[in-house]
Amino acid sequence: MLIRELSSEGLWLTPPTVDDVESITRCCRDEEIGEWTTLPKPYGLEDAERFVTTVVPVGWADRSPIWALRHTPRGHVVGMIGLGAADVSAAELGFWLDPAVRGRGLMGAAVNLVCDFGFEPDGLALERIEWRAFVGNTDSAVVARRAGFLFEGIRRAGGVQRGRRRDEWVAGLLYADPREPADGWPAID
């Protein structure tokens, strides 16, 4: 698959590279990112190197694109977002954001850009994008709800984090769904 960079006002999504290893490592050492993701903990430089040299290129080759969030086209990484292919018509959305830039609407803008790309006929031509998060990750849930994802329920012990099963929230966004805040979510705001 051809690599596509995405952008909107003040936000650039580009594939992460070896030049980003230090920024990625710094961000991924944040306790909140460790609490809500399946990233290794503690997170080291070798984890970031493996991510940019192996995971990212394999993802792009297998219809599972990964982008770094930046304030300028080649600026420091302040977050990560990607679509993991479930099959040819569906993918799972995943993201994290540096705590220094949370609350500014960056992730909401990034989610909209990535979902647009996922649904576009000249993008991935998906029919469904799924969001999942460990129960209690309200910041992630707020972003998904505002992007129009419909809450579908709880998968009991549905996710594994560093060898431990945890309950997951799950929500979905279909191509034809309205892209406005969705009702029916647990109390997250």
The DSSP line for 32-87 is HHHHHS-S-SS--HHHHHHIIIIIHHHHHHTT--EEEEESSTT----EEEEEEEEE
Q: What pLDDT is recorded for position 188?
A: 72
Span 122-181, pLDDT tens digits: 999 999 999 999 999 999 999 999 999 999 999 999 999 999 999 999 999 999 999 999
The reply to whether 1 falls in a domain is no
Q: What pLDDT is recorded for position 189?
A: 59
Tally of structural domains, the chain: 1
CATH number of the domain residue 40 falls in: 3.40.630.30
- pTM for the complete prediction? 0.95
CB crowding 60-72: b at 16 or more within 10 Å, else e: beebbbbbbbbee
Domain that holds residue 117: 6-174
Helix (H/G/I), strand (E/B), else coil: 109: helix
Look up tokens 């961000």; give the residue.
27
The reply to whether 49 falls in a domain is yes
The reply to whether 189 falls in a domain is no
